[in-house]
Structures are given as C-alpha cells and as structure tokens.
Amino acid sequence: MAPRDAGSTDSRKFQVIADDLRTEIADGIHRVGRQLPSQRELQATYGVSRETVGRALEVLRAEGLISSSRGRPATVTEGPGAAAAAHPVPSAQPAQVTLQPRLRAAFEAEEITMDVLSLTSETMAQHLGAQVARISDGEIRPQSIVLRLMLPDITGIRLAFPRGVEDPDDDRPRKRHRDMVINHARSLRHSLLRLRHQGLVPEVSVQIRTVPFTPPLKLYLLNKDQLLEGYYTLEQWTPEPIDGVEVTILDSLGVGATLFPYTKPGQALKVEAAQKFFDSYWDQLAQDADFGD
C-alpha cells in the first residue's frame, strides 16, 4: 500500500492518532503514571508530521487524559475508566489495536520472543525501529531477542496476490512484491543483529523461513503470551510506475490493517492454538529463506 502522507495535518489523521491512544489507555496498555510513546515514535508509527502528532496529543490533554512537560513524552494522568467514559465503546464491538504499543510493551521484558507470519513484514520493519532506538538510547536493556519470521515463498510459487488487474500474468507486480519482501526482511535482520554486534543485547537470533502459500492473514505472537491477528483486505490501486509503466494491481491492505489482540491468561486457548499453528508450519512446512545480505 502507498505510505501515508507525512506532511498532512488533516483532521482525520490527528483524530485517528488520538482515538488509537485513547483506546490504548482504556485497554490499560498505557497505565496511569506511565509515559506514552515519544512524538518521534508516534511520527514513525503513523507516518505523519510532528504537528499532526502534537494536535492529537492536545486532544487528549484537553480531555484530561494526559499531561506533558517540555522535552519529555506525555504521561497518562487518568485511568482506563476515565478514558472509556470519555469515549464509550459499545460492548459488542471487539477490541482493535495497532502493533506499535503492543510491541513497545513486549520490549519491556528481559527476554523477548517474536513469531511473525505476514505477507511482506513491512509493518514489523516499520515499527521495530522505535524499539531499536529505545535500546540504543539506554531506555530498555533486554538480554535476549528472538525473531522467527515466516513469509510466503516469493520465488517457488505464484502468489494469489498481488497481481495485475488487467493482466494477471503481468509479472511486474510480483517482482515489486518480491523486492519489498527481501528489503523488509533484510532491514529487520540487520537492525536486530546490529544490537548484538554493538554489545547492546547479549543474545539476538533472527530466523527467516518461507511457506508455499499466500497468507490471508497476519499474526504476531509476542513473548509467548500475546497474539495479534489481522486479516488482509484486497483492493485495487495504482502504485508508483513499475519499470516506468503504471499498473493497477490487486493488492492487500497490510500496513494499518486492524489487529485483534488475545492475551494470556484470559484468552490462553486462542493464544496457545495460534502458537501451535505457527510452530507446526514452521517445523513441518517452512524452508529457510535465502535473501542474501
């Protein structure tokens, strides 16, 4: 999907950020007395300007949910009940989250594990940088990080999507996708292994494998006790010209897709079933990927 416009400050974007943060406060992800992600992290997460992030935080400040001082991230001042009361959510509506706050919480642990199944790993690569920065800045000091990344086989099979709308046999959309898969996988690997090389994290393991099918969903298993699950939605759009030619493609909505959270102990059955699913495909079907350096 095309990246969000980093320079825009339209109302929808700052309201989206405010709504997400308000929901995360209501869910207890950001607790009273704890800091929200920094403005730099929020800019990277949403792909917007500092002004847009500032407007979103001002909304929450006006509602009395956060306070802030110059040069420091905003701090939550009201608990989940206050946030929920300010903007109640119908009880029948399932929880919806974004990856960044959950990933941030997972990185508070000393031993971090991440099992990921996705179409490109673009979302993971986009959000991991903020956590690497926290480690580099000395904010957190994990002792080990283990990532197992499972991606579709981009060379051995023809994926169901992305593909050309007018000409499904046009290989340019698939080549574009192959390049994205390789680039994001390399980025993840290099950013994590660099932490070990720099002596910031003693143990770092990154394994990447491929499976012979097109994933219809993405899932993140964090620290063996949390599952985030989202579904790829197909739509037609026209990216930047591919090899100098505009091609309308059928593609998936990945970055920004809704994620549904399940956590132990309350939803242990769901989390454990997802872990068993991932482990079985990883052990029985997936093959080591060779994406070079």
Q: What is the pLDDT of residues 250-272, one digit of tens each?
A: 998 655 567 899 998 889 999 99
Average model confidence (pLDDT) across the chain:
84
Query: Is 0.85 topped by the overall pTM?
Result: no
Closest CA to 201 of 136, 153, 256: 136
Instruction: Return the structure tokens found at 181.
Output: 């898969």
DSSP, residue by residue, 209-251:
EEESS--SEEEEEETTTEEEEEEPEEEEE--SPBTTB---EEE
Q: What is the reported pLDDT for 224?
A: 94
Query: Is 238:247 a contact under the CB 8 Å cutoff?
Result: yes
Residue 95: the pLDDT is 52
Mean pLDDT for 50-66 is 86
Work out the average pLDDT over 62-87. 69
- pLDDT higher than 70, residue 68: yes
Give the tens place of pLDDT for each residue, 164-191.
999 988 889 888 889 989 999 999 999 9
| Residues 22, 136: Cα–Cα separation, whole Å | 28
User: Can you give the length of the chain in residues?
Assistant: 293
Pairwise CA distance, residues 274 & 118, whole Å: 14
Encode pLDDT of 32-42 as tens digits: 888 888 888 88
Nearest to 171 by CA among 118, 234, 245, 117: 245
The helix (H) or strand (E) run that includes residue 126 is helix 122-136
* Distance separating alpha carbons of residues 123 and 45, to the nearest angstrom: 9
